[in-house]
Chains A and B, each alone.
Chain A
Amino acid sequence: MSDRGILIFAYDGSFDGFLSGVFDSFAMKILPADFVVFDDMEPSLLKIHYVETNFEHAKRVQKGIAGKLGEGVLNMVEKAFLFDGEGKENAILRFIWKAFKEGRSTGGKIGDEEVNRVFKMCTAVNYEAERFRQFTRFSDSKGALVAVIHPKHFVLPLIRHFFCARIKNEHFLIFDAEHGAALIHTPQKTAIVPVENLELPDCGDDSFYSDLWKSYYRHIAIGDRYNPVCRRTHMPKRFWQYLPEVQEELEPGYVPKLTFGTSAQIADSLRSEIKSLLEK
């Protein structure tokens, strides 16, 4: 590893691209100084190695990790990759190198600094996913359900099963506006697809049930036990934008940014939108 530190790896941002980079790193016996997505690259004097996404290489790395290091380590790698933050690729790559050197038990060495970084990334991703299982709210647009979320990490793959199991017979769409992707589900098919700008019809509302829900929320609070700090601990303010029951406290007169019409037309356009996205 004599070249250590002089090279930057750049890849396309996909998981397969990342794994291809891992492959290259092992083939070249090099740990790069940095490992970044092309699009986010800053000009640099260091030499750049452009990773070519190679599905076969990616498969081999995946198999190698699962076979030699176990599913546990592979799960950590996959989950940590959903983390959205600087330096994640490099942290995971270093973890993989270490694991190949020290064996299966590496995943358990969470007191160790390099392992701990990846462990913390996984914990953060899990935390975020759990919040969006809790706090995603759908609006009904003549039978189709729609939600828009802005998660810190890419949680759609982790919340997919939760929602598909619960409302399997519905048409629904969860749009991750932060990462430009949507989880789309019909009774026949489910997919996570990249979506740049989702133009959703912006009118009408689903207020009959959201009003009932708001009223319910108001009536179950016990005034004698009012405890705003506790509420915020469990339900941090950044999630309130999704929750009809507290949106008004966020800003008096708050109108949710995305509401959906109840007219058959809008519902149809939404359905065809979902359909066309699925066919892509």
Chain B
Amino acid sequence: MKKYMIYLNSKRCIGCHGCEIHCKTNKGLPVGPILCEISQEPLKMVAGVPKTEFRFRSCYHCEDPDCVAVCPTGAMQKRHDGIVLVDQEKCIGCMACIGACTWGVPQLNPDTGKVVKCDYCMDRIDAGLKPACVTRCATHALKFVTLQEI
């Protein structure tokens, strides 16, 4: 039932961390929460060249999300198209979701005292655009993929 995915072409990614800031500025986030992360393997010799692989992680938008289950106010919710999002109106900043998520994906926005997380930039995709990180990726290494429904 999950519909979307963000795919990183590590061959093109240059680890510039642009996407992390593209995301933050799109959501107007202050210093503190960073909703996606570029990580890299330690350098390793491959045919005479020290190489690395880059990885991109935001939120897994789980099939059966622990963050949603634990949320006492129903702020954390899953949309019909699989997007897991926080309703800012309902969030009380109890941070239960942060503890419940295996990867600690939801984060507290110190300015609002509420939780923020990757929502695949749903306002943008609803407007027919691509997520901020994908649109502005410095090398077009990120792709927003819509998976076929089975």
The answer to whether A and B assemble together is no
Interface residues, chain A, with chain B CB atoms under 8 Å away: none
